[in-house]
Chain A
């Protein structure tokens, strides 16, 4: 075998586990500032949300001003000040504190729904794309129906009928029924589009020759799905998940606006916006402004990160 030349270009050094997870950190002049700021923003937001109950400078979400402070606020109209950073609402509650607690709720709802949708939609889409046949046809009809079903009616049925009020006891978890209902609605809304994307991708991936090669080696269907197809689906799923999360946050706002989201005492941003909406004309616009800004920035941050993740995982298969 004289004509075989082992060509070994420079061997890359073995990357540390951290580098493998987040990729090589580029020099500062090459930073994508949009991405860095988005991550920083989300880290701060999550920090506040998680430790809202512990951090000393955050008031209780329903704390009302008393005495002299209350009197002073009566003519104040909720403008931001040194002691109320985001101003206060018509009852005098601290908008900053409420926003932080709302972040807790809003993010939990968004994350829980998107994770549930990823698992359910991903699984269904993968099976439909891989096995095709009658299974695919039945699922496709179900997805079509789900997509065509008016979201508001769905919310009305799920929240209004099944999860109107009360506590839900799920053994380990106990939670507000309404809260759970919102998650169910948002999950149902996002399963169909996610499953469709995953199905289309799986369909394309199953035609790839490495899947055929694995089958030729006698690999079982599950092995092929888990080892050959799933790793190639994940990047697309993650990127859709980040964008989808942003959409869900807005959708939650929409539900709150219609009165179908969580109930007091814990607000979400959408709920806060809806609650303070009538006061805009009376000069109480600040209580609407800040939750709006937070919602906007969060949606933007998730979109930017989703975009970046998609690019990070893009293997240039076509360039060779």
Chain B
């Protein structure tokens, strides 16, 4: 691909400006993504984190243009290297898919064609998009399988998906996604269906390929642990909006949004003693047809005040690399007093329990 030769190596690759994706359903309008803006540099990895129903998957699909045509209402701009993808139709998007951006899905079994050999599945985009002949495509497919570190790659070319293990299938998926040398790779919960040991390997592999190919990566997941070691920046989503966005180091060192804090506290950690009580977030994400007025997290937030319930907090930057949308952020005086109150309650409760 000639254009690849002239690609700039750094600078902004992707810019989202007030992206909104709503679905019109029988029950009303679902505001799945409701005003998200951010930028992504070339070669960087962005993690989009949130619970199921936070709109993280819909946001990724809005960027890729992989949304159902019927009932979808889109607003805002998706600027990809200067082109507004939101304005493109299916035909216009097709030029971007595969060559500019590609996607890895959660379940490698259902996203691979069960009746097609692995080699042909990797070779197909090469032949369609890059016009390679059969032999060339096969040789490139083999090279890709080596890149993703599948054991015995020659043998895998002529195998069918069901003959591979879950981890190998996900590696094959990655090989397919990498085939045409994309500039932006989406990974939507790429390791949820896999064992922890394989999950770690796959995440390492994605990171390694990103560095080798100077790709940007958008990693969508519900687990802050997954993004911590494998991204440069993190966007935390809640109920279709951005709660907090920061570089990974800054977010973990200085998290501001109570939702981010709650997500982190709900993860069981190895260095805590056994039977440490987890700080679960009560309830569940709101109905996106009638989202709460004010801050959308307020009904589940332990620090919420009257202001949180009535006024929508705006995304505010505290530095070039950190912004959040909250009236009573972690570390504020209200947060501190509430924290003390909760701690003393917990102390009373445990004392009562022992008595």
Question: Which A residues fall within an 8 A CB radius of B?
Answer: 2-5, 7, 9
Contact = CB atoms under 8 A, between A and B. Distances in A.
Interface in B19-77: none
Contact of A7 (B279, B280, B281, B284): B284
Contact of A5 (B279, B282, B287): B282
A2 B348 CA distance: 13
Contacts of B283: 5, 7
Interface in B123-141: none
Nearest to A3: B280
Contacts of A9: 287
B4 interface: no
Contacts of A7: 283-284
A4 B282 contact: yes
Given A3-B281, A5-B283, A7-B284, 4 more contacts: A3-B282, A4-B282, A5-B282, A9-B287
B81 interface: no
B314 interface: no
Interface in B268-305: 279-284, 287, 300
B349 interface: yes
8 contacts: A3-B279, A3-B280, A3-B281, A4-B282, A5-B300, A7-B283, A7-B284, A9-B287
Contacts of A3: 279-282
A251 B274 CA distance: 69
Q: Give the interface SS of chain A, mostly helix, strand, loop or mixed.
A: loop
A193 B336 CA distance: 69
A319 to B, nearest CB: 11
A10 to B, nearest CB: 10
Contacts, number: 12
A9 B287 CA distance: 10
Nearest to A26: B26
A134 B331 CA distance: 69
A5 B302 CA distance: 13
A11 to B, nearest CB: 15
Contact of B349 (A2, A4, A5): A2
**For this complex, into which size category does the number of interface residues on chain B fall?**
under 10
Interface in B301-353: 349
Contacts of B287: 9
A3 B349 CA distance: 13
A243 B304 CA distance: 57
Interface in B193-212: none
Contacts of A4: 282
Interface string B154-193: 0000000000000000000000000000000000000000
B343 to A, nearest CB: 13
Contacts of B349: 2
Contacts of B282: 3-5
Contacts of B284: 7
Contacts of A2: 349
A7 B349 CA distance: 23
A4 B280 CA distance: 9
A9 B282 CA distance: 15
A73 B287 CA distance: 71
A134 B282 CA distance: 52
Contacts of B300: 5
A112 B300 CA distance: 58
A2 B279 CA distance: 10
A293 B304 CA distance: 69
Which 8 pairs, one residue from A and one from B, show the smallest C-beta to C-beta distance?
A5-B282, A5-B283, A3-B280, A3-B282, A7-B283, A7-B284, A4-B282, A9-B287
Contacts of A5: 282-283, 300
A8 to B, nearest CB: 11
A254 B31 CA distance: 55
Nearest to B300: A5
A3 B282 CA distance: 5
Contacts of B280: 3
A55 to B, nearest CB: 42
A189 B300 CA distance: 60
A147 B119 CA distance: 39
Nearest to B52: A320
B41 to A, nearest CB: 36
B340 to A, nearest CB: 17
A120 to B, nearest CB: 34
A7 B300 CA distance: 11
Nearest to B283: A5
A2 B281 CA distance: 11
A173 to B, nearest CB: 48
Nearest to B277: A3
Contacts of B281: 3
A3 B281 CA distance: 7
B29 to A, nearest CB: 17
A2 B280 CA distance: 10
Which of B279, B281, B283, B300 has most chain A Cβ within 10 Å? B283
Nearest to B282: A5
A230 to B, nearest CB: 29
A9 B290 CA distance: 12
Nearest to A7: B283
Nearest to A4: B282
Nearest to A6: B283
B24 to A, nearest CB: 14
A248 to B, nearest CB: 34
Nearest to A320: B52
A5 to B, nearest CB: 4
A158 B280 CA distance: 69
A3 to B, nearest CB: 4
B351 to A, nearest CB: 15
Nearest to B345: A2
A2 B283 CA distance: 11
A209 B279 CA distance: 30
Nearest to B266: A3
A2 B300 CA distance: 13
